[in-house]
Amino acid sequence: MNKLKLRLQLEQYFLEDIGDRDLTSELIFGEGQIGKVIFLAKENGIFCGEEIVRSGFKVLNPAAEVNIKVRDGEWIEKGQILAEASGPVSDLLKGERVILNLVQRMSGIATKTNEAIRVLNSSRTKICDTRKTTPGMRMLEKYAVRSGGGFNHRYGLYDAVMIKDNHISFAGSIAKAVEEVRSKIGHMVKVEVETETKEQVLEAVEAGADVIMFDNRSPEEIKEWIRSVPNGIVTESSGGITLDNLQAYSDTGVDFISLGFLTHSVKSLDISVKVIVE
């Protein structure tokens, strides 16, 4: 995770919540009153967000002391203490909600990713994410997928070519779309083509695609169509795949399965912040 970018994002998140100041905390507590808070797991899952906790409180007060007790990607149990932070009470209270929101969501994504990997139970096929992320949180959510054991698809429109159905319709054919792309990009950029029929798969192979996606196709269709794809081309399946039917795709032979629900509809892991009075 890019720490410089993370700090900038944390500053924006805090500004959204704090605005000019935290009226409640500043009116009750003086700057010299020191306190301590702990992050406590309220359910089992995969933890993600150690750098959020560490950097978050220090953005508000560089002198804050933070002790992280678990690492990203570790399994945590209900009742387990995950992290501690000490410093001025007003700073702790200013930051705890934003930090907690982020850690809960990232841990939820890591936990769901880990569950998907276990359900798939494949030594060949890898689970990856999509661009269906929360605006402003893509870096964090994709990091959470990796913490859960998954892989990242492209980060945005800028780091890989993905020729989808609308591109194909406007271009006239897969061959024309790939030809246009190949004539204008360097050798370091991968080209993926989304396919919905066997004919499109064959056209994508002939056009020289680096990656072929089987879009909204059944396991049976994929098993048949993948025989036409040479070993040097990476394959991916996406669309209509849920935890309920994921296991059916385990023996299709695809290299990746991309799952939008890992980020767009995930449930946050239940974690709380408790005050320690000494």
Choice among 3, 164, 267, 274 that is catalytic: 164
Q: Which amino acid is at 77?
A: E
Choice among 7, 132, 190, 198 that is catalytic: 132
Residue partners of 188: CB distance under 8 A and separation at least 6: none
**In this structure, are strands 234-238 and 256-258 parallel, antiparallel, or unpaired?**
parallel
Choice among 50, 91, 192, 194 that is catalytic: 194
Q: Decide if 164 is catalytic.
A: yes
Q: Decide if 194 is catalytic.
A: yes
Q: Decide if 190 is catalytic.
A: no
Q: Decide if 146 is catalytic.
A: no
Choice among 36, 69, 97, 126 that is catalytic: 97
Choice among 91, 192, 203, 215 that is catalytic: 215
Q: Decide if 118 is catalytic.
A: no
Structure tokens at 25: 């905390």
Q: Which residues are catalytic?
A: 97, 132, 164, 194, 215
